[in-house]
Amino acid sequence: MSDLSIIAVFLVGILGGVHCLGMCGSIVGIFTAQLPTHRSRWPFHIAYSSGRITSYTLAGALVGTLGKAGMLMRDAVPVQHLLFALSSLMLVMLGLYLAGLWGAVRRLEMLGGGLWKHLQPFTSKLLPVNTLPRAIALGALWGWLPCGLVYSVLVASLASGSSMQGALLMAAFGLGTLPNLLAIGMFWERCRSWVQSPRVRLLAGLAVMSFGVYGLIKVSFTFYVHGWAGACHVSV
C-alpha cells in the first residue's frame, strides 16, 4: 500500500472537517431537522454515516480494481507512482482550498455532477427519515455527492492497485469523517462558527497539504534514485 497509508487517510478525513461543513453541513442540517422528535437522534446519524461509508468503500474497491488493471502496464510506465503523485498533488490543492488560499478543488467536484444529477432525485423520496433503513439508504446515496476531498483519496485508492486496499483506504477515510459529521449533526450551529474560523481553516489546510507534499517528495526521490524504468518495480 502507498505511503498515503490508512492512518494518514484517516487523519485526512478528520482534518477535512472544514470541507465537510461546507459540503454537507446544510444537508445534515436538513436531515437532522426531519428526524423524529420523540426518538434519539444518534442511531439515525450513525445509520446515515454507515450508508455513506459503505458507498465510499464500494467506490474504493471499484477504483482499486481499475488500478490493478493499470498495473499491467507497469513494465512500460510506472503507473502506480504517477497515480500516487497525482493523489499527492490533489491533497496539496485540497490543503490550499481548506486554508482558503485557492479554490481550484471546486472545479474537480464538477466532474461528478453528471452521476449526482441522476442520483439526487432519489434522495427526496427518502425524506423524511423516520426509520433506520431510510437513514442508511439516504447516506448511501449522499456518499456519491461530488466532493474534492473524496476524489483525492479515490486517486490514492486507484494508485493502490488493489480492490481490497482501495476499499480499506476509503473505509478509513470515511471513518475519519465520522466524528465531524456526527458533531455537525448534533451541534450544527456551534460547529459552524468554530470550523469557519480562519485560524482553524489554515491549520487544517496546512496539515492536509503536508501529506501531499510528503508524497510528492517521496515519489520525486524514488525517481531520482531509481530512474523512470527502475521506479516501476519499487514499492511506493
What number is the average pLDDT over the span 213-223? Answer: 84
For residue 235, pLDDT beyond 70: no
Instruction: Tell whether the torsion through CA atoms of 44, 20, 112 and 215 is positive or negative.
Output: negative
Is pLDDT larger for residue 52 or for residue 76? 52
Measured between alpha carbons, how far is 121 from 35 in angstroms, rounded to an integer?
Answer: 20
- Report the amino acid identity of residue 57: T
Residue 69: name the closest of 4, 163, 142 by CA: 163
* Crossing angle of helices 42-70 and 132-142, rounded to 10°: 40
Give residue for cell 531509481.
226
Closest CA to 48 of 164, 127, 110: 127
pLDDT of residue 167: 95
Mean pLDDT over the full length of the chain: 80
CA-CA distance, 192 to 79, in Å (whole number)?
A: 40
- Residue 227 phi, psi dihedral angles, 5° rounding: 80, 175
* Opening angle at CA 192, ends 189 and 193, nearest 5: 100
What are 196-217's pLDDT values in tens digits? 678 878 888 888 899 889 888 9
Residue with cell 462558527: 193
Q: Enter the pTM of the model.
A: 0.82
Q: For residues 120 and 188, what is the distance between their CA atoms, to the nearest angstrom?
A: 23
Render pLDDT for 148-164 as a digit per residue (tens, 0 to 9). Answer: 888 888 988 888 888 99
Q: Which tops the pLDDT comparison, 150 or 236?
A: 150
Confidence of residue 120 (pLDDT cuts 50, 70, 90): confident
- Domain extent listing, the chain: 6-77+104-197
Q: pLDDT tens-digit profile of 182-198?
A: 877 666 556 666 666 78
Nearest to 105 by CA among 148, 53, 48: 148
